Amino acid sequence: MDNNQKLSVMEKIGFGMGDAACGIVYSSLTMFLTYFYTDIYGLSAAAVGIMFLATRIFDAIIDPITGMLADRTKTKWGRFRPWLIWFAIPYAVLAVMTYTTPDFGYSGKLLYAYISYALLMLCYTFINIPYCALGGVITRNEKERLSAQSFRFTISSASGLMVSMSTLFLVDWLGKEDKQLGFQLTMAFMGLIAIGMLIFCFLTTKERVTPIEDNNVSVKKDLKCLLANDQWCIVAIITFFSSMAGVMRSSATLYYATYLMIGGISSTSGTAMKSAFVSTSVIGTILGAMAAGYFAKRFTAIQLFKNINLILFAIGVIMFFVPPVWLSVVFPLYFLIGFFHQMYQPFKWNMMANAADYGEWKFGRRATGLSFSGNLFALKLGMAVAGALVGVCLGLLGYQAGVDVQTPLATKGIIGLLTIGPAFSYLLLWWLMRFYKLDNKMMEIIQEDLLTRQKSVENHN
């Protein structure tokens, strides 16, 4: 084992396919599920917000448990890769069930939404945590890890583009006048694609970084080491606010496009305009992920991360004051938000891997699954807060599903949720980066020391 482990292009593509499979369903949840629940399924915006908060907090609590289980999984295929195969089919089935609308009364429909959504997020956890941990063990080479993360987010963004451009058209085509059936069949199609991607990821990747065996490990010791890892704590807080920014904006997008850009629910602009607006940001994410690798070679990761968040803050504030009907201005601004938001994602996820290495270096114990699951706990907590905030704010501000014209207060609320809310999260991310100290020089020291330790153990055995 050495710090110069190179990854083939095929393995990087395969690694990216794993996140693309997660992204197909995740993108549909962030882009369409709030709208689906309020305007198609018939739930109130406030009820949806509370449901998101409750189920996502429950799911987030499961994350550390999943991470510890993954760390303790031992198979001939590794610790993390097998989980992708074990839960691929249940994941696809639950995606369909979440967009299924049984003919129950209001209370029954709400209960069904709670159960189906909670189970889907649980299955997502069983795939996504081991997958994210896989990114920390495919190589110790930080540049190769960052390159793999860049591939990951480029491919994942492409899957998000597929979802944004095709979902509403597939709903209309497959369901005809029945949008409930259209969403159900569309998710069945997406689920089959996700299964194929997860299998491809499993077959093309390899786990190369193995922890030094420690027979004295315990759950209590793992948790104590994790919480004592100051750099992990900083990355977790960063992950929380990054998640809040992305989910808040995504959840508000369809409301913004439907009621403020195209003139209401009965506008003839309809599906094409909404799909174009959603896709504009997603195209930006693809190009942003691709640009991350280019800029990483020319600037330090920490400074780049800080500058990107300042730019995102400025764009959000500017867009708040731009009337939604100024399409020639709104579209480019929304493209730039997608571009810069995705550009920093590879750096953020590489920061998670660095924090796991730092924890191993500082405490002599590597718990990759727990480390990533803890960050995903923060990510899902951010999703929960953002999803609840969108639903509750819409309810308090007088949002009404299906009307042509929203009240001025509801209109301002939708604009604010799309722009100002995420903007202040980005400002916090810029400020938080002053506490992150794992720069290139520090990571070189850590990696060399870990390699020396590993060789010492191997020679002793």
What's the pLDDT tens digit per position in 303-329? 889 999 999 999 999 999 999 889 899
Region 250-263: mean pLDDT is: 80
Write down the residue that tokens 């190009």 correspond to.
Answer: 287
Does pTM top 0.85 for this prediction? no
Region 8-32: mean pLDDT is: 88
> What's the rounded Cα separation, in Å, for the pair 128 and 140?
21
Region 230-254: mean pLDDT is: 91
Q: What's the burial of 362, exposed, middle or buried (CB within 10 Å: 0-12/13-18/19+)? A: middle
Write down the residue that tokens 């300042």 correspond to.
Answer: 310
Question: Which are the contacts of 180, defined by CB distance < 8 A and separation ≥ 6?
Answer: 40, 41, 101
> What's the rounded Cα separation, in Å, for the pair 132 and 145?
12
Position 297 pLDDT exceeds 50: yes
Position 71 pLDDT exceeds 90: no
Position 360 pLDDT exceeds 50: yes
HSE-up (13 A, CA, CB side) for residue 259: 24
pLDDT, residue 187, reads 93
